[in-house]
Amino acid sequence: MASTPIDPTGPSRLFSLTRRTAGVLVSLAFTFLGLLFVTFIIARVVPIDPVLAILGDRATDAQIAAERLRLGLDEPLWKQFGIYVWQAVQGDLGTSIRTKQPVISEIAQYFPATLELATLATIFGVLLGVPAGVLAATKPGSWADQLVRLVGLMGYSMPVFWLGLMGLLLFYGVLGWVGGPGRLDAAFDMMFEFEVTQHTGMILLDTALAGRWDMFANAISHIILPAGILGYLSMAYISRMTRSFMMNELGQEYITTARVKGMPERRVIWVHAMKNVMVPLITVVALSYAFLLEGAVLTETIFGWPGLGSYITDALLVGDMPSVLGGTVVVGVAYIGLNMLSDVLYRLVDPRAR
């Protein structure tokens, strides 16, 4: 170390980076395989006979045998699993029993609504949670700290579907400040279907791109409540984590260095400490995003939001297992994807991890 003041950079660093990335990819592939294995097992032990579910009770023996052959149910289990994985990798998650449509194309229709909701909620969560956590960390033990703590713990303790109902009751039923269930008023629903090109499937983006600001405003009035409620949960998590990370950083010696240099407290906190807080916070935000995809399952049923959550719960109630499991796989894949994304961002922010 003493002879080389600067660690050698260049090829060895590049090598270690590729090796680490490869390691991450392999472990992700394993996790994906495990995900499919679990859903496969669940699908096999379902008491619902997939053949009867598709053909109905009055099918002839010949029809049943043909269908079994088509579904590959006569093959040994390991081979069935192999086929399942192969199809899943190609995007084939089976056929919905309810609608006889491919599960993947149905999910493609439902997913943007969930994505829009979860994204907006995460934006709320970060914009409110990070300053709240920083405020609490800079004044530990103060009333502001206690308040942030209590508001955060309350968010951890509320059943999200109940919070949704209460929100609807107050802001829609009593005060009339927001639009009710659904993504748009009924009057706009048809118009959106026929007059707006759906580039993204996300209503705010599509209406804005089409310049239909009347519709955009209406969509805002509908999304604000569910996104606000999910955003509150996200804020609860992010503010608590930010507080603990920030407390940790503010105790570090480099903070003293910045103060010795005469930097104002604002800069010490928001530049020096924040740059370090960002590193673990990225993982937290990714986690909370994933957690919102899940929270959406219960919220969407309350708000009649046509997203993945509604899709899964509706399918569940009629025993449409391919749809349920397909939805589970997609959410699982989103989890894995977010994990990978946070890993990449983490490396970008922290020079020591490169």
Partner 1 sequence: MTLLSVQNLRVSFDTEAGLVEAVRGVSFSLGRERLGIVGESGSGKTQTGRAVLRLIRPPGRIEADRMDFDGQNLMTASEREMRALRGRRIAMVMQDPKYSLNPVMKVGAQLMEGLRQRDRLGRAEAHAKAVAALDAVQIRDPERVMEAYPHELSGGMGQRVMIAMMLIPDPDLLIADEPTSALDVTVQAEVLSILDGLVRTRGMGLIFISHDLRLVARFCDRVLVMFKGRVVEELAARDLMQARHPYTQGLLNCLPRIGGPRVPLPALDRNAEWAR
Partner 2 sequence: MAELAAWLRDPSPKSRLQARLGQGYMGWLRFRRNPLAMIGLLIVMLLLVVAALAPVLAPHDPITQDLRMRLLPPLTEGHILGTDDFGRDILSRLIMGSRITLFIIAMVAVTAPLFGMLVGTVAGYFGGLVDEVLMRLTDIFLAFPKLILALALVAVLGPGMENAVLAIALTSWPPYARVARAETLTVRNSDYIAAVRLQGAGAGRIILGHVMPMCLPSVIIRVTLDMAGVILIAAGLGFLGLGVQPPMPEWGAMISAGRKYLFEQWWVATMPGLAIFIVSLGFNLLGDGLRDVLDPRNSGK
CB-nearer residue toward partner 2: 246 or 279: 246
Per CB under 8 A, which region of 76-84, 106-114, 126-134, 310-318 contacts partner 2? 310-318
Which residue is it, tokens 């894995």? 336
CB 307 within 8 A of CB 113: yes
Q: Does 100 bind partner 1 (CB under 8 A)?
A: no
What's 56's DSSP letter? Answer: -
What is the C-alpha R_g of the chain?
25
* Residues in CB range of 214: below 8 A, 6 or more apart: 188
When CB distances are held under 5 to 8 angstroms depending on the partner's kind, the choice from partner 2, partner 1, none that residue 15 binds is: none
* CA–CA dist 163, 244 (Å, integer): 26
* CA–CA dist 288, 261 (Å, integer): 36
From residue 9, alpha-carbon distances to 70, 88, 163, 352 in Å are 57, 41, 53, 12
CB-nearer residue toward partner 2: 18 or 27: 27
What is the full DSSP assignment across 68-110?
HHHHTTTS-HHHHHHHHHHHHHTT---B-TTT-SBHHHHHHHH
**Angle ∠(225,230,231) on CA atoms, nearest 5:** 90
CB 192 within 8 A of CB 210: no
When CB distances are held under 5 to 8 angstroms depending on the partner's kind, the choice from partner 1, partner 2, none that residue 7 binds is: partner 1
Among 11, 76, 141, 176, indicate the residue that binds partner 2 (CB under 8 A). 141
CB-nearer residue toward partner 2: 224 or 329: 329
* CA–CA dist 269, 249 (Å, integer): 9
Which pair of structure tokens corresponds to residue 175?
């005060």
Contacts of partner 2 in 250-309 (CB under 8 A): 290-291, 293-294, 297-298, 301
Q: Does 166 bind partner 2 (CB under 8 A)?
A: yes
CB-nearer residue toward partner 2: 159 or 351: 159
Q: Does 264 bind partner 1 (CB under 8 A)?
A: yes
Among 24, 51, 66, 263, indicate the residue that binds partner 1 (CB under 8 A). 263
Q: How far is the CB of 6 from partner 1 (least distance, A)?
A: 5
When CB distances are held under 5 to 8 angstroms depending on the partner's kind, the choice from partner 1, partner 2, none that residue 47 binds is: partner 2
SS3 308: helix
Encoded amino acid at 287, one letter: L
Q: Does 94 bind partner 2 (CB under 8 A)?
A: no
CB-nearer residue toward partner 1: 13 or 70: 13
Q: Which residues bind partner 2 (CB under 8 A)?
A: 27, 30-31, 34-35, 37-39, 42, 45-47, 140-141, 145-146, 149-150, 153-154, 156-163, 165-166, 168-169, 173, 244, 247, 290-291, 293-294, 297-298, 301, 312-313, 316-317, 319, 321, 324-325, 327-328, 331-332, 335-336, 339
